[in-house]
Structure 1
Amino acid sequence: MANANFSRKNNNLRRLKERNKTVKVKCFLDGPYGTGTREIFETEHAVLIGTGIGVTPMASILQSIAARYKTTMRSCPQCAYTWFQEMPKSLMKLKKVDFIWLNRAQKSFEWFISLLTEIEIDKTRMVSSLNPHLNHFIDMHLYITSAKQKTDMNGIFLQITLDMIRKEKNKNFITGLQCKTEAGRPNWNKLFRKIAAENKGHVKVFFCGPSALAKIVKHHCEKYKFDFVKEQF
């Protein structure tokens, strides 16, 4: 009986060693590598620029920002009142976010319109919860590049009509959002000058789009001393 137990124990040890072999193989790791957007929460003033489907990583960032703010939401145990506490710097250093999305056609805005609508609703709730400084924490700039600008006689009446509808309904006719959709391409010099004048801290631009536009945006970043990070498109 003792020999049987000893034999069984040896068999168990042998199987255990076979299953957990020590293999002397050297392994080398080159990296780790991550995307440029991983630095977003260490940035003071972030500018997110996406073109077409290049908005995908920017949409993820906006979701993460909204999720982090929701963690600061508190509710009164005696009533239904809710409010947002101040964001600790250990969780996020962001003071301002400018989201810039360029699309050629109106239909392309449908990709993430539900997400942007949710962000606008959350922002309204946060502002009403005694956080008025959050009113312009996230500013959205949408551009439909195939449309004619007001400076073009073919597009001036369309733009005037859209502006009237937005003023009356407080909604964008093209996207259904409160933020305005601009016709044509951004005036990068004018836009970056406005961002620099806000003085919300050091600005870092996160870009995802075609290389040709990346060169233009990078040139303006250098002019205004903004950091520039390009996501592979």
Structure 2
Amino acid sequence: MQELTRKQKLFVQALMQLDTSRCRELLAGQQTSEDCSTHPEEIVVPALENIGQAWETGHISLSQVYMSSRICEKVMEKILPQDSTPQESSTRLAIGVIEDYHALGKRMVISSLRSAGYKPIDLGHGLKAEELVEKALQEKADILLISCLMLASAIHVKDVVEGLNRAGSQIPVVVGGAPFRLYPALWKETGAHAVGNNSADAVKIVRDLVGRQL
């Protein structure tokens, strides 16, 4: 994993101390000499990846991972646009979180997609593979996006892809999240059609897939 910047390290430290106010200050560019024009996602995503890796190596508890994610969600809720009105789009995008309850990545992707003119359907989080397949089919999704924070969740993407195949569906599956950045070949092993490193990537991938479907 790439070495964290000073600001990212400070953010990790604040998360480990459960200091919501400090996290908010860092994302607002306060109390730091670094460039405050950095997009919040560039601080939050690497920090959560670092914390997730610390859990996988046994250095912190799962509860610390959970609380860190919840703090990030709370802070980012104040930053991400809430009332953007998407343009009309006939493409049905569905997005969900498989097997865990860390919804921040999903929230950031939804925000970016809405800003780009799409109306993503939020399938929820904490979903089992079969539930995600069922919901995607019920919503008649043209593209399914799956967000994962933990490796244990990411490996179940393969179950989703296989479930869609058994149902005779050709829905492209796009994945994103820390496990796919830590293990670059993982997305191919799961059978996903594409992987994005951040919410901006998700928009680019969706546009490309929509272009192919037209």
Q: TM-score, normalised by structure 2?
A: 0.30
Q: Highest Rg: 1 or 2?
A: 1
Q: TM-score, normalised by structure 1?
A: 0.28
Q: Which structure carries more strand by proportion?
A: 1
Q: Which has the higher contact order (CA 8 A, sep 6+)?
A: 1
Q: Which structure carries more helix by proportion?
A: 2
